[in-house]
Amino acid sequence: MKRRIVIKVGSNALTRTDGRLDVTRMSALVDQIAWLRQQDFEVILVSSGAVACGRRELKATHELDSVEQRQLFSALGQAKLIGLYYDLFREYHIHVGQVLTMKENFSPGEQYKNQQACMRVMLENGVLPIVNENDTVSVTELMFTDNDELSGLIAQMMEADTLILLSNIDGIYTGNPADPQSQLIKEVAPGSDLSQYIQTEKSSAGRGGMQSKYATASKIQAAGIRVIIANGKRDNVLINLIEDPIHTPHTEFLVHATH
């Protein structure tokens, strides 16, 4: 039976220091996902980066408020982002399908069932779902907290075995990651409370941060799904998490062995 993994890649893992999309890093991510599929994993990709992508495409003719910026740049950027993924995955003969969703689609009911059925039929036919929030119509009160929350909801909806949250640091530390005295927390047992270690700073490129990842990981762990937080800027991090997890820096939220 195939193992199902949801991989969330954040804006900080997909962008360079100047805010532009890091196409080299994106290509490396695609290479690794192709490898996972060759190892008989089913993969669902939750990808940030649309707004960052669109922001570099166009200079607005007048000043925009935050909602207008999000709508404009996500509309432009999503087209570019999915086009890049399409071209990169095509090299491996992998079909991709875009799923743009909103928070209301995760409430019990017909929309939830339709979305779940859509993604199931994609996986059954070897299509890789690439998921993102539909920022063009989602405004403040309807938005996900960030794509960490979205990826957790997708993992539950699709009954994934593992959720991997890729950031630009290795995981959760006992202090500031920049402090040499800080230690990486490698394993988190069910019911553990790490709130004392979580810094509240937001991501520089996206809406989330480690606080968001910790909240998502704790919730999804409680649902019986294994969660890994790792550094998406490390070479071959996804492959190494599978082949040599002991020597690959990451934080893993363990689940009970009975799962």
- The pLDDT tens digits for 133-149 are 887 776 665 567 688 99
The per-residue pLDDT for 139 is 62
Distance, CA of 89 to CA of 45 (rounded, Å): 12
7-53 pLDDT, tens digit each: 999 888 888 888 788 999 999 999 999 999 999 999 999 998 888 88
Domains and CATH numbers, the chain: 3-253 (3.40.1160.10)
The per-residue pLDDT for 203 is 47
Sheet holding 3-9, edge to edge: 96-101, 128-133, 41-47, 3-9, 162-167, 226-231, 251-253, 187-188
pLDDT less than 50: residues of the chain? 202-208, 259
The per-residue pLDDT for 205 is 45
The per-residue pLDDT for 111 is 94
**Strand positions, DSSP E, the chain:** 3-9, 41-47, 96-101, 128-133, 162-167, 187-188, 226-231, 251-253
Residue with tokens 């893993």: 252
